[in-house]
């Protein structure tokens, strides 16, 4: 089924995915990860995009972010690419595109999906068997969310703050949630939605987003429309 055109709604939560071209590596060493994060931090500040969660994997990355305006995410991702891709190509003596096309993104209803998607993103290194525990992976926001470090890239989401009245309560609650892995079907569903541009949320949330955007925000049903059946008169 064809994916929808990229949906961006100001002041709503977005899940963003960027992949390496042909699944090739986009980070080779610690310097690469650190350089990308610094440029992402600069761009997020410049274009008023709040980054709440991230993971940088060897061949792709995920972000949860809230833009202040409709163009913020696109400008941020373009700016980072204009700096990181030439850096990477010079360093590794390569040329051409680094990314697999444009980044993918969709909107999520924060109240229902922020924590689920955040945990799914930060558990990516564990599912990929890069580490045994999410807190061992240095290139994600998980260490920030459980209080092991303060990450200057991160703007804590309001839903995260609802986990407790103190930093200790929030960090402990979040860490406990990570100990209960999400069903794989839920993880696949959220990732698939971002790749195909399908909004995730309640019926009321979807209706409100349709009103705001005046466009379809969910996939069409499969098959041809059913013909109306004439009732006998």
- Which domains are seen in the chain, by residue range? 13-213 (3.30.70.1290)
Under a CB-based contact definition with an 8 Å cutoff, are residues 178 and 142 in contact?
A: yes
Assessment of whether the complete model's pTM goes beyond 0.85:
yes
Q: What is the pLDDT of residues 202-216, one digit of tens each?
A: 898 888 888 877 655
Q: What is the pLDDT of residues 35-47, one digit of tens each?
A: 999 999 999 999 9
Non-local (6+) Cβ contacts of 133 within 8 A are 126
In this predicted model, which residue has the larger pLDDT, 192 or 133?
Answer: 133
Give the sheet arrangement for strand 49-56, strand by strand: 49-56, 60-67, 13-19, 104-108
DSSP state at residue 128: T
Q: What is the pLDDT of residues 88-121, one digit of tens each?
A: 999 999 998 999 988 999 999 999 999 999 999 9
Task: Evaluate if residue 198 carries a pLDDT over 90.
Answer: no
């Amino acid at each position: 089924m064809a994916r929808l055109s990229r949906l961006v709604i100001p002041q709503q939560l977005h899940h963003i995915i960027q992949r390496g071209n042909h699944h090739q590596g986009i980070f080779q060493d610690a310097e690469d990860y650190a350089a990308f994060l610094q440029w992402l931090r600069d761009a997020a500040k410049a274009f008023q995009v709040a980054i709440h969660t991230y993971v940088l994997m060897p061949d792709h990355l995920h972000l949860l972010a809230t833009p202040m305006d409709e163009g913020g995410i696109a400008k941020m991702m373009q700016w980072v690419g204009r700096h990181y891709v030439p850096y990477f190509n010079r360093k590794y003596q390569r040329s051409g595109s680094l990314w697999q096309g444009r980044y993918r993104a969709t909107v999520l209803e924060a109240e229902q999906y922020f924590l689920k998607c955040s945990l799914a993103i930060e558990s990516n290194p564990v599912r990929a068997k890069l580490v045994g525990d999410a807190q061992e992976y240095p290139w994600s926001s998980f260490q920030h969310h459980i209080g092991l470090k303060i990450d200057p890239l991160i703007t804590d989401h309001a839903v995260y703050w609802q986990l407790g009245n103190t930093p200790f309560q929030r960090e402990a609650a979040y860490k406990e949630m990570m100990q209960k892995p999400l069903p794989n079907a839920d993880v696949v569903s959220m990732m698939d939605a971002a790749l195909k541009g399908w909004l995730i949320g309640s019926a009321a949330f979807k209706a409100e987003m349709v009103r705001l955007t005046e466009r379809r925000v969910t996939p069409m049903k499969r098959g041809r429309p059913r013909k109306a059946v004439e009732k006998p008169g």
